Amino acid sequence: MLEYMPLLLFLSVGAVLLLGYPVALSLGGTALVFAFIGEWFDLFDPAFLEALPNRIYGIMTNETLIAVPLFVFMGVMLERSRIAESLLETMALLFGPLRGGLGISVMIVGMLLAASTGIVGATVVTMGLLSLPTMLKRNYDPSIAAGTICASGTLGQIIPPSIVLVLLGDVLSAAYQQAQLDMGMFSPDTVSVGDLFVGAMIPGLLLVLCYILYLVGIAFFRPQAVPAIPKSERNLSGKALLRQVLLVLMPPLVLIVAVLGSILGGLATPTEAASVGAVGAMGLAALRGQFNLQSLKTVMEQTTLVTSMVFLIFIGAAFFSLTFRGFEGDELVTDFLTSLPGGTVSAVALVMLVMFLLGFMLDFIEITFVVVPIVGPVLLSLGLDPVWLGVMIAINLQTSFLTPPFGFSLFYLRGVAPPQVTTPMIYRGVFPFILIQLLMMLALALWPALATWLPDLIYE
């Protein structure tokens, strides 16, 4: 009976989630019910739950996790400063003479917003509200327009400073140390959020480049699907356009360089860099005349709401993981993954498939704090690089959020798209970008140095 309890626990959590209950309460509540049942039938040692206060105290005192509310504050403040609107307008004027130029502008603005905010939902909704009507007005193919917006919005998963990478870095650090201790290494190496930020830079930028090359290909083979902006609507001279590009583009670029540069240069930890980003976002909002006490209050409320949700999930996940371990679920997973034919390759492929499917119904936070602590130590004990594994997980979840019929990014866009953009159109539009992401994952699998070379170079 004991060997079936971890599987029943996992399936029960999924069933409760499908009924619509909040994730944090589903994790904690289901785990507690199973713990009581297990104790009643003498299958579970309640001493496992005695570790819960230490787990919660560890979450409260974890300096890395302080970066979460700071990066959320930074993203929400930048969203309210209407920076996306100015960036899109300016980039459209810059690339407007080219076929597909508006799509390229949306992709570049999405990349900048991803690096500035790191919040997928906010980026997709913002770009959907601002750019989709403009692209349709310019006679863009609705499918291509929708796919471009969804793909650019999910870049927040992989472009640093991503909240996904902050959380993954913290969890993988603990998993990496546990894996080394299990292998008898009592002075284990560490992996930091900064390592993951650096490791994600090359794959993230390559993804953006591949997206843009796809749009250039569409402009070459199907020019009528991505027309240029008429010359009559581009009313700025060369010098005036250059001045506007500098005025609009430089402030967010300076902020991004300040945040990432301080981490890459070893001047600040990700948490300290996040505080720089939060202060810089307030300064940027003030420069644009969007900063006042009312806006600060609104941003603080939204930041508190998101942060509370994240940390409540932490607590629910702690209940779940302790109960799962109490039923010897971690040993079951270890035995299963290490006994697969094909060894490490099969284990990684299976874990990525499971995470991909879970991405249809769980957000990245739940997957990071429920699934990664279970499978992370096993995979890392097989000799995988933790930075490479973190980047693979981030791109995998990014692909899941784009994939029909349950991708979160598709739901976000569907909620703000006009009626003439149908759901099948959105599905057709994202398919090429899904293929690009799968090819990127294949490239990472074949050449792990895409993720590991830069961290090794910088932190050598």
Residues 56-105 pLDDT 10s: 888 888 887 888 888 888 878 877 777 777 777 787 777 777 888 888 88
| Per-residue model confidence (pLDDT) at position 203 | 93
So where are the chain's domains? Answer: 65-308+405-458
Angstrom distance (rounded) from CA 248 to CA 236: 15
Question: What distance in Å separates the CA atoms of residue 236 and residue 222, rounded to the nearest whole number?
Answer: 28
Q: What's this model's pTM, rounded to 2 decimal places?
A: 0.85
Answer whether 352's CB lies under 8 Å from 412's CB. no
Handedness of CA 207, 208, 213, 214 (dihedral sign): positive
Q: Are 292 and 188 in contact (CB under 8 A)?
A: no
DSSP state of 51: G
Distance between CA atoms of residues 376 and 18, nearest Å = 25
How does the average pLDDT of the chain come out, rounded?
A: 83
* Residue 457 C-beta-side C-alpha neighbours within 13 Å: 10
**pLDDT given for residue 134 in this prediction:** 81
Confidence of residue 147 (pLDDT cuts 50, 70, 90): very high
Which amino acid makes up residue 385? D
> What is the tens place of the pLDDT at every residue in 421-458?
888 898 999 999 999 999 999 999 999 999 999 888 87
Task: Please identify which residue in the block is written with the tokens 């009924």.
Answer: 19
